[in-house]
């Protein structure tokens, strides 16, 4: 039998207060909103191409929003897939821009571009 081709899936956490308000959230540890939890739960049984029994290891950011998202996605299974909570997959560090919305950042730094200067 041919081996399956390894694949990488990236899963974004559900809504937080800051994501709902457009605030840049990196290292600040913010919980999911009730709506964010429902967003994740609604996807849990319809993960499309992700078959939980074929997950070798899930890498999970230590931020509570990411960890909660992982658990909500797989809580319906008899056991969770193997996972590793690691800073290696943490969110961006926005430094002094953490918690600000775009127009507040641009007011401080008119040349700001998220892809060039969006992290520390």
- Active-site residues, by number, are 13, 91
Q: 49-81 burial, b for 16+ CB within 10 Å, e for fewer?
A: ebebeeeeebebbebebbbbbbebbbeeeeeeb
Q: In terms of Cα–Cα distance, which of 80, 40, 56 is closest to 6? A: 56
């Amino acid at each position: 039998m041919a081996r399956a081709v390894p694949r990488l899936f990236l899963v974004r956490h559900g809504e937080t207060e800051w994501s709902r308000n457009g605030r840049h959230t990196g290292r600040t540890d913010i919980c999911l909103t009730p709506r964010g939890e429902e967003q994740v739960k609604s996807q849990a049984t319809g993960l499309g191409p992700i078959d939980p029994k074929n997950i070798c290891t899930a890498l999970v950011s230590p931020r509570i929003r990411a960890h909660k998202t992982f658990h909500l996605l797989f809580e319906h299974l008899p056991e969770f897939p193997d996972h590793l909570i690691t800073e290696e997959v943490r969110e961006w560090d926005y430094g002094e821009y953490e918690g600000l919305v775009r127009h507040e950042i641009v007011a401080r730094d008119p040349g700001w571009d998220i892809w060039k200067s969006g992290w520390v």
